[in-house]
Amino acid sequence: MKAVIALGSNLGRRFDTLQGAVDALFDAPGLEFVAVSPVYETDPVGGPEGQKPYLNAVVIAETKLQPSMLLERAQSVENAFGRVREERWGPRTLDVDLIVMGDTVCDDPVLTLPHPRVHERAFVLVPWAQVDPDAEVPGHGSASALLAGLDQSGVRLRPDLTLQVPD
């Protein structure tokens, strides 16, 4: 099953943190690397005023893991990088979000798939569509069609930053 994972950081050594997250996600068995998007610098969406810009990227993998197991791995990676959940949409060292897993639709209090706001988030859809032009958000349509209705001005490509793919 194809899994799409969004990464974001706006505290500390943002790029190093994203690279560390990619490495950590694929360090354990169960995920096969497919692709990683370019890195984008993005304006914060929601949350408190005065936040620094984020670095965002999307990773695509193949997996046989259950969604709950992949969520546990994502949260473990966040914790390893000092993620603290003090306020909703607040600044963070690392955000690892499970966006979609195949065409799974799940509305569970612990895990919602697809991610409940992905269809509104240019900072996820831009990098995802860049690396997977045929990307589909179950129940919402193609990423490219969704992007056509969103303001993308706060999403800027960082060609000077390239995430290394796992071995």
Residues designated catalytic? 83, 92, 95, 97
Residue 164, H or E segment: none
Exposure string over 83-97, b if 16+ CB within 10 A, otherwise e: beeeeeeebbbbbbb
